[in-house]
A = this chain, B = another copy of it.
Amino acid sequence: MTQISGFERAFEPRSIAIVGVSRSKQPRHFGSSGLSILRALHHSGYQGCLYPINPNATEIDGVRVYSSVLSVPDPLDLVIITVPAVAVPQVLEDCIAAKAMNVHVCSSGFAETGEEECKKLEEKVKEIALRGGLRLLGPNCMGIQVPRARITTFDDVPLVHGPVALLSQSGGHAYRFLQYGSTVGVGFSRVISYGNAAVMDVTDLLEYIDSDPETRVICLYLEGVRNGNLLTSMVKQINLVKPVVVWKAGLTDAGARAAASHTGSLAGNRQIWDAFFKQTGAVRAGSVEEMAEVSAALVSLPPSLGKRTVVISGGGGNNVAAGDICAEEGIQLPPLLAETKNELSEFISTVNQGLTNPLEAPSLFLSPSQMNRAMKLLDADPTVDMVIVSLMMAGITRKGIDVADRMLDCLANIARGKVFHKPLVITLSDPMTAEAVRYWQQIKQAGILWYPSLRQACRAMSRYASYYEFVERAGGCSPADL
């Protein structure tokens, strides 16, 4: 890394300059304009000093505007650049002169366009940054979010503090990770989009984020990487202590072409990346959603005991699908222990509710006392590593809102480890309706780990359990020891 000391100020800045703030949001772009970043920082409640830069304005949104970073009277911990690509080199020279060393270049129009001129411009940006010692993120990125410091360049996403970091070449994916992650109960330490990685590459950022005590799980969205060997050896080491979740995109031909035109990245081939995952034990993900889902399990569950799982479900056909889904995702469904079966059969009727696994037991969903009793039995059963409860809220609410509320209270109590001490996950098998979204929010607010579907739950839980298996085989220290 160029210089790590001083870099942490970029994520807890006392002062931020935003270069290229005009009076209107540029309607051509979906991404971050200077004005939208200024407003996002206002909305988020950022407490430091903000310096919008625009040589042709004196005031925007009631804030004094400066003509250049050089005219700002205070030291700048972070400079966010949103001017057109051709104007970026001069701003960088100004940053060097102003000793503002942390720079995020959100402007696009560089190597990702594939055009010679634009590639040369990126080379020039790189040369200036290296010469001046700038810690430069980008170009072609969408900035950062640090909820604890109330910093965000992403407008209209919630700031949820927590232990999950994301390093993403795509600003759009970073944005979606913030949106979706918070719906499945993920909170964020630092979310950093780094675009074309002209200067700071993922290995530099990984060195920094590894040293951040708040971060317990690190997610990476990669299109390409310059130094694959370095990344492999870093992830190999870090992953034994902090799980590293990696979504490597662009592994198909069509994806690789898109990666080239998105961040100018060389995507690499599938065999090399398969070897990367095998060697490092990094947790593989295939989308923003999958990164968030497995992160949720890794941060909110105790260390995995294994993959032997009991699925409790309410419906017959769902049970058959559950068997297939678990098998396909590598979740084991051993038969119940004879003793557990006997005790369960004392209060679970066997008519249409054979005591198999998945356990079809609709009656449990209507009786908190029966649900508690069943969970106590599964807690005591040494052949059960975890439990997945597949809820169909529509089936429960039909019996009355109070029945549904009591069951959610009961499950929240169980999930808090009052009744059941092993990993527990809830999934909803309801279709996507506004009512279902309301229940999802209730479940999330109750602090229960949940997923929108059994498929997503099984995939996340299988990866979570595989992570612990890898760490145990590798003899690393467990995240739980930290």
Contact residues of A with B, CB < 8 Å? 25, 27-30, 85, 108-109, 112-115, 140, 155-156, 168-173, 176, 179-180, 183, 221, 223, 249-259, 261-263, 287, 314-324, 326-328, 333, 349-352, 354, 356-358, 360, 362-363, 365-366, 392, 394-395, 398-399, 429, 431-434, 437-438, 440, 452, 455
Mind listing 17 A-B residue pairs with CB under 8 Å? A29-B362, A109-B351, A140-B316, A156-B394, A171-B316, A173-B318, A176-B429, A176-B431, A179-B431, A183-B431, A250-B320, A254-B358, A255-B320, A258-B323, A261-B356, A263-B316, A434-B437
A30/B314 in contact, CB under 8 A:
yes
- Nearest 8 pairs of A and B residues by beta carbon: A170-B317, A252-B327, A255-B323, A254-B323, A255-B324, A172-B315, A261-B354, A108-B352
Partner of A156, one of B261, B323, B350, B398: B398
- Beyond the given A85-B351, A170-B320, A254-B324, could you list 14 further A-B residue pairs with CB under 8 A, ordered by the A residue number? A29-B362, A113-B352, A172-B318, A183-B433, A251-B324, A252-B327, A254-B322, A255-B321, A258-B323, A258-B356, A258-B360, A262-B360, A263-B316, A287-B455
Total copies of the chain: 2
Complex contact B179–A254 (CB within 8 A):
no
Determine whether the beta carbon of A323 is less than 8 Å from that of B256: yes
Known: A30-B314, A255-B327, A319-B262. A352 touches B249 (CB 8 A): no
CA distance A322 to B288 in the complex (A): 13
B residues within 8 A CB of A360? 258, 261-262
Highest count of chain B CB atoms <10 Å: which of A254, A315, A398, A455: A254
A30, A180, A437, A452 interface centre (most CB from chain B within 10 Å): A30
Q: How far is the CA of A257 from the CA of B327 in the complex (A)?
A: 12
The docked-state distance in angstroms from the alpha carbon of A113 to that of B353 is 7
